[in-house]
Structure 1
Amino acid sequence: MRLLHTADWHLGRLFHNLSLLDDQRHVLDQLIEIIDRENVDAVLIAGDIYDRSVPPSAAVTLLDEVLHALCEERKLPVIMISGNHDGAERLRFGARHLRQAGLHILSDLADYATPVTLTIKGIEVDVFGIPYADPEHVRSQFEVDTRDFDAAHRYLVERISEQRHPTRPCVLMSHCFVDGGSASDSERPLTLGGAESVAWEPMQGFDYVALGHLHGPQYRGGEHIRYSGSLLKYSFSEANQRKGVTLVDIDVSGVTQIEQIPLIPSREVRVLEGEIDTLIAQGRTDPHADDYLLVRLTDRHAILDPMGKLREVYPNVLHLEKPGMLDARGKQQLDRERQRFDALDMFSDFFNQTSGEAMSDEQASAMAELITQLQRDEAQQ
């Protein structure tokens, strides 16, 4: 039996106020191609299907199209759990009826100990799903003393371990932050001011653990306790990650092979650094000029409308940083006295860029007198 593990689709996501829906559609088309090419038997989606609890209608439509292609056209079983971004109640609307079509939505914590049993090619595999749940939810639902995420998750995992079939391979799905995992800027913290990580040790005995929440592909405690990673790069801190999905082969003895398959986005997420003239010259011949970019300018002088100039060659510059304008000690704010000292130089740069020529000696002298008078007036006030 071959399973495809994916997670963190975040349908409807905005990236610096830019909709990523077309980019998500592009990689989801690839996901379906991988399913066809690799003869996948079932699909596991480990939470954060949507980016927010009330998703935009276009995101709902896209999910409906993908699930129709998998469940109706290809007759594949799909098992999904809700994540911390999803609205669990909305996500599971119609879940009891959709089981007949092969779509299993596990977002009700009360059903965490009831597995979905996949019977494919003469192999039976039990899949348990733990939707995202905070300690308060677990404590009130089951009347147990769980004060942090680890205690709540451990309680659920141990109850599942006690009830699992003695001979069938067993897969666990969970949306959580496993201790020691590598996080990125695009993941919403599960809690403020408290411990949100859970231990991997209680999950060690499962044949495979399909995790969601962390956006970088990685594993903890063993290769079978794994995050597939998100569909796309959702922050510039993920620029060096390789996104993809995970193929898992299982037979009656357990997992036989795990393979990460890359997804190729329509636009990459990159970080460029350098002086503006160098970057503009580079952009004129860059074959990937449409990528989503964070630009760090190293110029130490003021530049008029740097974003506009960069977007003439790189139309998708989404964020601009100017570390070159910081002083040599790397402060995060320009020193006020330094600004005053360089006011004439800064105005000279401005004059040159707007007029196309340098100030004359007479103009520079007049501006220097004006700046001196302004500084004197400010000091007196």
Structure 2
Amino acid sequence: MKFIHTSDWHIGRQLHNQSLLDDQAFVLEQIIALADEHKVDAVIVAGDIYDRSIPPANAVALLDDVLNRLVQDLGLQVIMIAGNHDGHERLGFAAKQMATSGLHIIGPLSADIHPITLSSSSGDVVFYPLPYAEPATVRQVFECEASSHEMAMDVLLEKVRQHDSQGLPKVVISHCFLDGGSESESERPLSIGGADKISPKLFTEFDYVALGHLHGPQYKGAEHVRYSGSILKYSFSEQHQHKSVTLVELGTQTPIDIRLLPLTSMRDVRILEGELDTLLAQGKTDANREDYLMVRLLDKHAILDAMGKLRAVYPNVLHLERTGLMAGQQQVALSRDHIKKGEMDMFCDFFSQVSGESLTQAQQAVMDDLLTKLHNEERQA
């Protein structure tokens, strides 16, 4: 059995208010092509199909097109589970009817863990899709005492252990946070204070574990207990991650084969750091200036319309940090004279950029009197 493990599509997501739908369509096209190129039998999507529980219409249309091409055009089996971002009931609508076509969607958690046996020329495999569920949901569905995510997961996995797979390999599909996993800023916390963490040891007995939630490709506890990672960089904290899908070949008589298939994004997500003039000069010859950028300016003086100047060269600057200016402000002593001097210097820089001229001595005296008056009023307030 050969299948692609992917997760965290987050269709409909925005990055600093920039829609990523075209970028998602670009990379999902690659997943379709990889599935065809490697002649896989199935595609597994381990949760967070959409970015929010009520996805926008264009996100639904994109998913519909992708699934139609995988299931109808390529004739593949697709198994999808709901993640913590998904609306479980909405995602699972008409799932029973679609299963006959090869599309298996597991939305809300049910008391019956329905194994899915998929056949291939190299052997059959049993998949156990476990949608994301809060401990409270597990307590209600299974009438148990699970008070943490780990206890809740153990209840679900016990059902998998008890199921007789007739000697066929067992593949668990889950959306959760394994203890020790490498996080990024774009993942929504499942719980507060570490109560969402689950020991990887719970999963090691199974033949393969297809996980979703963490956005960096990684494995924990054992090489076959694995996160595929998200299909795109969804925060600037992910700038150094290399996105991929996981190609898995699994049989009863042969050892498991796991390979990462790299994905190429339409635009990269990067952080640039430097002084404005240097960055503007670099941007004129930067072949990747269309990337989504966070810029950290090291200039220690005020700059008029820094964002506008940057976007004239880098059109997709999404966030600007004045690192140099903040560092300069932090170094100013808290005495009255130093505070006043810092504010005067900043105003002098601002005035010279707006007017093209420096403050005269008379103008400086007026500003000095005004700043002194303001500070006296602050002390008296």
Whether TM-score is above 0.5 comes out as yes
1:168 partnered with 2:168? yes
8 A Cα contact 1:248 1:255, kept in partner: no
Distance 1:250 1:380, change over 3 A: closer
- Any stretches of 5+ residues in structure 2 without a counterpart? none
Distance 2:189 2:343 in 1: 42
Distance 2:210 2:65 in 1: 24
Identity of aligned residues (%): 51
Partner of 1:88: 88
8 A Cα contact 2:4 2:248, kept in partner: yes
Partner of 1:17: 17
Number of aligned pairs? 380
1:262 partnered with 2:262? yes
What is the Cα deviation at residue 14 of structure 1?
A: 1.1
Partner of 1:180: 180
- Any stretches of 5+ residues in structure 1 without a counterpart? none
What is the Cα deviation at residue 255 of structure 1?
A: 4.6
What is the Cα deviation at residue 319 of structure 1?
A: 0.9
What is the Cα deviation at residue 194 of structure 1?
A: 5.2
Partner of 1:304: 304
8 A Cα contact 1:71 1:101, kept in partner: yes
Partner of 2:271: 271
What is the Cα deviation at residue 360 of structure 1?
A: 3.0
SS in 2 for 1:136: helix
Residues 1-381 of structure 1 mapped to structure 2, 5 A cutoff? 1-110=1-110, 113-193=113-193, 195-253=195-253, 255-327=255-327, 338-381=338-381
Distance 1:112 1:288, change over 3 A: farther
Distance 2:37 2:321 in 1: 42
8 A Cα contact 1:158 1:202, kept in partner: no
Distance 2:111 2:334 in 1: 59
Worse-matched range after superposition: 255-264 or 357-366: 357-366
8 A Cα contact 2:51 2:85, kept in partner: yes
Instruction: State the TM-score, normalized to the length of structure 2.
Output: 0.95
What is the Cα deviation at residue 336 of structure 1?
A: 8.8
Distance 1:245 1:112, change over 3 A: farther
8 A Cα contact 1:136 1:147, kept in partner: yes
Distance 1:35 1:233, change over 3 A: same
What is the Cα deviation at residue 188 of structure 1?
A: 0.6
What is the Cα deviation at residue 343 of structure 1?
A: 1.7
Distance 1:87 1:330 in 2: 45
SS in 2 for 1:251: coil
What is the Cα deviation at residue 342 of structure 1?
A: 1.3
Distance 1:76 1:122, change over 3 A: same
Worse-matched range after superposition: 249-258 or 310-319: 249-258
Distance 1:46 1:235 in 2: 20
8 A Cα contact 2:340 2:372, kept in partner: no
CA distances 1:182-240 after superposition (whole Å, capped 9, x unpaired): 11111111123451011111211111100000000000011100000001000011111
Distance 1:188 1:222 in 2: 25
Worse-matched range after superposition: 290-299 or 367-376: 367-376
SS in 2 for 1:326: helix
CA distances 1:218-272 after superposition (whole Å, capped 9, x unpaired): 0001110000000100001111101110000112236531001111100000001
SS in 2 for 1:53: coil
What is the Cα deviation at residue 369 of structure 1?
A: 3.4
Instruction: State the TM-score, normalized to the length of structure 1.
Output: 0.95
Distance 1:150 1:287 in 2: 47
